[in-house]
Amino acid sequence: MADEHDHDHDNHLSETVLRVKALESLLVEKGLVDPAALDAMVDVYENKIGPRNGAKVVAKAWTDPAYKARLMADATAAIAELGYSGAQGEHMVVVENTPTVHNLVVCTLCSCYPWPVLGLPPVWYKSSAYRSRAVIDPRGVLKDFGLTVPDDVAVRVWDSTAEIRYLVLPERPAGTEGLGAEALEALVTRDTMIGTAKVMP
């Protein structure tokens, strides 16, 4: 397999890239993995499963009180209603931000993250800086994101130590009463559903 590659090009690739290519070649040659399955998996996480899924959940919760009630009671089932389920979101819990409570999600032990609704986690979420500080200094971490939470607002940090995955339901901003679910969805960013940002009108 390696002979098929353009060697002039390969010379410029880093050692890690070469190691990955060599491993993939070996595993394909041994019949252990199907390269088309690898392509399909990359495509799913690059193009199909990402934070727009979570934004749809949030916008529906904001605009459909019955849906919100189902979401808070059984998030896994309510999220599955929209077609989002499975790997790294098998058991979902939604935590709601209010004028008196601000929620923040972390995984101090590894990088657990609700993949079906947010996709793969960003580098900062997996960083030692975030994992170490989110539990001991959440207000300091939020300041790194430009967010100051007043002292009289309780900060709740959710450390994903088991297979329960957390999605923050951010506060619907004032002045968005006239907006429909689709317009609202566009306001909901990834970080607002991790808890490191607020939704801006």
Partner 1 sequence: MNGVHDMGGMHGFGPVEPEANEPVFHAPWEGRVLALRRALGAWRKWNIDAGRHSIETLPPADYLRLSYYEKWLASAIKLALGAGLITQRELETGKRDPSVPVATPPLTADKVLPAILKGGPTHRETAATPRFAAGQAVRAREINPTGHTRLPRYVRGRRGMIERDHGAHVFPDSNARFLGENPQYLYTVRFSARELWGEAANPGDAVYLDLWEDYLDVA
- Is residue 112 annotated as part of the catalytic site, yes or no? yes
Q: Which of residues 58-77 bind partner 1 (CB under 8 A)?
A: none
Q: Which is nearer to partner 1, 92 or 179 (CB)?
A: 92
Q: Which of 161, 183, 186, 201 binds partner 1 (CB under 8 A)?
A: 161
Q: Which of residues 117-156 bind partner 1 (CB under 8 A)?
A: 119-120, 122-124, 126-136, 138-139, 141, 144-145, 151-156
Q: Which of residues 33-62 bind partner 1 (CB under 8 A)?
A: 33-34, 36-42, 44-46, 48-50
Could you give the C-alpha distances from 104 to 21, 137, 159, in angstroms and in order?
38, 11, 9
Structure tokens given for 17: 């890239």
In the set 14, 85, 112, 160, the catalytic residue is 112
- Is residue 110 annotated as part of the catalytic site, yes or no? yes
Q: Which is nearer to partner 1, 43 or 64 (CB)?
A: 43
Minimum Å gap between C-beta 199 and partner 1 is: 17
Residue 100 backbone phi and psi in degrees, to 5: -115, -5
DSSP code at position 52: H
In the set 14, 25, 85, 110, the catalytic residue is 110
Q: Which is nearer to partner 1, 135 or 181 (CB)?
A: 135
**What CA dihedral angle connects 109, 111, 112 and 114, to 10 degrees?**
160
Q: Does 189 bind partner 1 (CB under 8 A)?
A: no
Rounded Cα distance between 7 and 4, Å, is 9
Contacts of 81 (CB under 8 A, 6+ apart): 67, 70
| Strand, helix or coil for residue 58 | helix
Q: What is the gyration radius of the CA atoms in the chain, in angstroms?
A: 20
- Is residue 132 annotated as part of the catalytic site, yes or no? no
Q: Does 81 bind partner 1 (CB under 8 A)?
A: no
Contacts of 36 (CB under 8 A, 6+ apart): none
In the set 14, 25, 85, 107, the catalytic residue is 107
- Is residue 25 annotated as part of the catalytic site, yes or no? no
Q: Which is nearer to partner 1, 5 or 180 (CB)?
A: 5
Residues with catalytic annotation?
107, 110-112
